[in-house]
Structure 1
Amino acid sequence: MLTIGIDVGGTSVRAGVVDADGAVLDTTRTATPGDERALEEAIGGAVHELAERHEVAAVGLAVAGFVASDRRTVMFAPHLAWRHAPVAERISERVGMPVVLEHDANAAALAEHRFGAARGAGVAVLVAVGTGIGGALLIDGEVFRGAHGVAPELGHLRLVPDGRPCPCGKSGCWERYCSGTALSSTAVELLAKHPGVSTVLAREARGDARAITGRRVAGAARDGDPLAQRAVADLARWLGEGLALVADVYDPEVVVVGGGVSESATLFLDDAREHYASVVTGAGHRPLARIRTAQLGDDAGLVGVATLARDLAVGATQSPGGRLG
């Protein structure tokens, strides 16, 4: 049985056909529209495109936002247009297949626990570093959702009082200092203070500051640009700071760092580990969590939610009457 997993992020909508072994057989991607109707049309278009090439049974959406515990409704998404929206019902009507929702970090954590870096871990945390930060907690392979289905929202822990404003409505959130967006913001701030340090980035910023994306900063850091390397070092410090806080609260066996920014982990993860180990409570007198990069990379969210969609489809076919809901 093949299913479609769709990672609905603040920047792009990425859909893939996934088999029972977690292999992604085919993908399509589009930019994330800014309003509900256009977003749902984009998702429907991605499903129809893939369904023309493969026989698929169900669809899962990995959403960067608060998903209700019934996994049918998006309550709030800082980077998306949905607010208390019955997304599963709407998309199901649009594509003619059963649809399940999951928080994108939960979906990625489930995929890493079943197929990747957290396999076999009793207590595992996933930190998905992309446009923002998503978080997930697994206990014996089960997602911990909290009382209302929204835990743990790690990216919006306030690390810096009166810090950078965040789309969630607060300021100083972890993801404002540790994400692809944060890497861009830090580089732009450094360019304003030190305009002569990075000739390449400074020239690009004069043309259009939006050209200084997190991906561009990471690329410049790889090429030895000193200002970009300073921005990456800042991200590494804040990643270590946040991981120490996560370890203080959850004491995980393993922390998996995923999301699009993890593709550049060789630039910052060793420094983040070192900072984490130095500031975690009881440093030097307690076991430390293993901090690993996601083995499934950018595919983790869509693989996890496609797996949930398969479980939904299989359960429906095995229920009395054998109907898919």
Structure 2
Amino acid sequence: MAEQALAIGIDIGGTKVAGGVVDADGVVHERARRSTPHRSTSPRVVEDTIVSVVEELLDSSTGPIVAVGIGAAGFVAADRATVVFAPHLSWRNEPLRDALASRVALPTFVDNDANAAVWAEHRFGAGRGESHLVMVNLGTGIGGGIVLDGQVIRGRHGIAGEFGHMQVVPDGIRCECGNRGCWEQYASGNALVREARALFSAGSPVVSDLFDRVGGRPEDLTGPLVTEAARDGDPLACELLAEIGRWLGLGIADLAAALDPGTFVIGGGVSAAGDLLLEPARAAFRRQLTGRGYRPEATIVAAELGNEAGLVGAADLARSDTLAR
């Protein structure tokens, strides 16, 4: 039956290609994974990796597969076929869907990985039942996705949701995108680590616990390590996460003014800090929200699907598109 149809979802990141066979309830039945070829390799090598994962999943699936959905970390054109730009891979205006069509004998769709993730959280995760949902992914940078009236909003050119590059501080910290003061320079994993390393460099005594955790090697400091220290009660780590949370709340208030969602879902690696991050974010959001006290407030919740959100959402979008035809 159509409602029981399975689909393959593929999540392509800077370090891995992860895939799964996903049913109509968002349950992953089979999984496969490969390392992402180095960014200097040709598009064909990355395509070979994707095809290898798809073939493994087709061989292991216990039921018929109706479609393949690809979630790619990069700008995907509105045609859901072309990767315009992928910062960690060699794709530049790459016709990925057509390149795979002759090698994967199934309907294939390409989307941005954050679009796939927000769709998964909308259908099966923290945003279930919410028709107006915005997802903010805090990792090395900040990505995001939008669902309004139950539909993924991709924008005229397919690249909506690049929230991390909203300017929040004029002439602020230089961003990798070339601009200054981008939101992700203040509310991301990179920002968390940068601030901790700045205290290392200053020789601040408040950094002693983190210093011990990395054996005096600031280059070994990571976002997850700061989060672990905060969970263990280290005051500095808690303070650093609270600062990231404050910036997160400020940016979310701007998004609320523009989009008015009912729920913000916070995903990505930094969200593992839970309320150590989210409570400061909620407080800053309430202080900054336009019309505060006279309008309904969106809820701010942690994502539920973790690292599999991208592949689950890609599979479900591909399945839905195929069965609607």
- TM-score normalized by structure 1? 0.87
Equivalences for 1:144-159 in 2 at 5 Å?
144-159=153-168
Quote the residue 1:291 is aligned against: 300
Offset, 1:67:
1.0
Offset, 1:22:
0.4
- The answer to whether the 8 Å contact 1:258/1:298 transfers is no
Residue type at the aligned position of 1:10: G
Show CA shifts across 1:14-48 (max 9, x none).
22221111001233344443234443343333323
Quote the residue 2:291 is aligned against: 282
Offset, 1:301:
1.8
Q: Are positions 1:4 and 2:8 aligned together?
A: yes
Q: Are positions 1:99 and 2:103 aligned together?
A: no
- The answer to whether the 8 Å contact 2:199/2:207 transfers is no
| Alignment CA distance shift 1:281-1:232 (3 Å) | same
Quote the residue 1:47 is aligned against: 54
Show CA shifts across 1:147-175 (max 9, x none).
21211321111112333333322232212
2:94 aligned to which of 60, 79, 85: 85
1:63 aligned to which of 58, 72, 75: 72
Q: Are positions 1:260 and 2:265 aligned together?
A: no
2:35 and 2:238 map into 1 onto residues whose CA distance is 28
Identity among equivalent positions (%) equals 48
Equivalences for 1:87-236 in 2 at 5 Å?
87-202=96-211, 204=214, 206-207=216-217, 209=219, 211-236=220-245
Residue type at the aligned position of 2:298: A
- The answer to whether the 8 Å contact 2:197/2:218 transfers is no
Show CA shifts across 1:252-291 (max 9, x none).
1111112233232232101110111011122223221111
- The answer to whether the 8 Å contact 1:237/1:272 transfers is yes
Q: Which moved more, 1:69-78 or 1:159-168?
A: 159-168
SS at match of 2:11: strand
Show CA shifts across 1:200-220 (max 9, x none).
5335274461x2221222112
SS at match of 2:117: helix
- The answer to whether the 8 Å contact 1:113/1:120 transfers is yes
1:26 aligned to which of 15, 30, 43: 30
SS at match of 1:268: helix
2:203 and 2:255 map into 1 onto residues whose CA distance is 33
1:87 and 1:107 map into 2 onto residues whose CA distance is 16
Quote the residue 2:257 is aligned against: 248
Q: CA RMSD in A?
A: 2.4
Show CA shifts across 1:294-313 (max 9, x none).
23233222111101222344
1:239 and 1:30 map into 2 onto residues whose CA distance is 33
- The answer to whether the 8 Å contact 1:198/1:225 transfers is no
Offset, 1:106:
1.6
Residue type at the aligned position of 1:270: E
- The answer to whether the 8 Å contact 2:200/2:218 transfers is no
Name the count of aligned residue pairs.
315
1:261 and 1:29 map into 2 onto residues whose CA distance is 23
Offset, 1:98:
3.1
1:183 and 1:22 map into 2 onto residues whose CA distance is 32
| Alignment CA distance shift 1:123-1:167 (3 Å) | same
Show CA shifts across 1:58-91 (max 9, x none).
3211122221111000112344432211122223
| Alignment CA distance shift 1:44-1:216 (3 Å) | farther
